[in-house]
Amino acid sequence: MKKVIFFFLLLIPLNILAIDYPKLNSKYAIVYNLSDDEMLYEMDSDKVISIASLTKIATTITAIEEIKDLNEKVTITQKILNTVDPVLSKAGLKAGDEVTYQDLLYASMLPSGADATNSLAILSSGSIDSFVSKMNDLAKRIGLKDTHFVNVTGLDEEGHYSSTKDVLNLLKYALNNKTFREVFTTKKYTLSNGLVVKSTLDKYNASLNLDLSKVLGSKTGFTYDAGYCMASLSKIDNHEIIIINLDAPYESGISYHLIDNANLIDFVEDNYDNITLVAKNDVIKKINVSLSNISTYSIRANDDIIKLLPIDYDKNLLEIKYEGKEKLNFIDKKGNKIGTITYKYNGKEILTEDEIIDTDIKINIVKIIKSYFYIPLIIIILPLILKKKHR
């Protein structure tokens, strides 16, 4: 089979607009298209830094993977609560409370309760150190090269660090887990003991009144080293977008990490669109058909090829590769696969689809006679020639 690579020319107007990149208060940021596995924006994402309570993303997914029965009931003790540093935020658990491990996941993530986080670690693994070891094992297993944990809450300590890109990869991994996704995207939850916990978004947005309707879920955090941090999952133009911004200030009661996250949502909305690169049934290529009722067969797109692209996208970066038969005849039947079509933009694959014959290719007797009329003559003449040679 031959490989044919070509650029599909489309009647798309050339964009003269340019992306308007955001001005942020945060020192580090990432905007990532989870639906298409594509980075949209990043700022100093490889620098090793403190990540505050975004650490609890690792704590939560580790607990989910390690605990066999999340519905198992456990009792909070004063000894466990005494391990919580007074400076850390708490969910409001009290000694003697009987809750489930699942309750502790929500109490840890939504209000960023260190009392719930420490309880989760100690009750499931016997000690915080033992649980932290499991968190580091997870970090190594999923390829976090710039991450190391020494606690489960994100408290500033020597040897506790990560990077914006590692937080992204951690969150990407965690969101593949159904239980984690449910916890992460919950805004309010009632524990078994009746305690109601809420996402920190309401607290930080109380004085700002930002439109956070597109935010599906989030985790915030703060320490003096890390500044104010936020990781969110949003739905924009039918795409799931992860936004992470770290080390923002908090001045005069203004939550700049929340402002930056909201501005980055606006950045995607204002500068990206769902672009139809190829429409369903667009002709990709025509190939010859022999000895049939048709002379050519049109290979067409099976569906619309749509991609979230910046407003200054370059249509010439679209590449379409067909690999398959270069000629058909009546032997090729409707429903047969004859090849594949691969669509790429800027070198990154969007989709590969099978090309299936969608029409009847019928035999044409007249064409066969015209093409092979000499065969009967050869059958008649060849014996006469051979007989003459033998005389």
Q: Across the strands, what pairs with 219?
A: 231
Q: Which residue has the higher pLDDT, 236 or 375?
A: 236
User: Residue 341 has what pLDDT?
Assistant: 94
DSSP, res 177: S
Q: Contact 49/28 with Cβ under 8 angstroms?
A: yes
Query: Would you say residue 147 has pLDDT above 90?
Result: yes
Q: How many CB atoms lie within 10 A of CB 138?
A: 21
As given in the structure block, the two tokens for residue 388 are 């003459």
As given in the structure block, the two tokens for residue 366 are 């007249």
Domains 2-11+276-365 and 42-226 equal at CATH topology level: no
Query: Would you say residue 42 has pLDDT above 80?
Result: yes
Side-chain half-sphere CA neighbours of 188 within 13 A: 4
Q: How far apart are CA 74 and CA 20, in angstroms?
A: 51
Query: Would you say residue 17 has pLDDT above 60?
Result: no
User: Residue 375 has what pLDDT?
Assistant: 52
Q: Name the CATH code of domain 2-11+276-365 (choices 2.70.70.10, 3.40.50.1110, 1.20.58.110, 2.60.410.10).
A: 2.60.410.10
Share of the chain above pLDDT 90, in %: 76
Estimate the crossing angle of helix 164-175 against helix 55-66, to 10 degrees: 30
User: Residue 4 has what pLDDT?
Assistant: 34
Q: How many CB atoms lie within 10 A of CB 302?
A: 16
Q: Among 123-127, 280-284, 294-298, 367-371, name the most confident range.
A: 123-127
> Which of 237, 212, 38, 64 has its CA nearest to residue 220?
212
pLDDT mean over 279-302: 88
Q: Among 195-199, 304-308, 364-368, 371-375, name the most confident range.
A: 195-199
Question: In which band, very low, low, confident or very high, does the pLDDT at 13 lie, cut at 50, 70 and 90?
Answer: very low
| Architecture, CATH, for domain 42-226 | 3-Layer(aba) Sandwich (3.40)
Q: Contact 196/73 with Cβ under 8 angstroms?
A: no
Domain boundaries, the chain: 2-11+276-365, 42-226
User: Residue 376 has what pLDDT?
Assistant: 55
Q: Contact 207/253 with Cβ under 8 angstroms?
A: yes
Q: How far apart are CA 353 and CA 340, in angstroms?
A: 6
Least confident of 54-58, 210-214, 251-255: 251-255
Reported as a single tens digit per residue, the pLDDT across 108-133 is 999 999 999 999 999 999 999 999 99
User: Residue 370 has what pLDDT?
Assistant: 63
pTM of the model: 0.84
Query: Would you say residue 149 has pLDDT above 60?
Result: yes
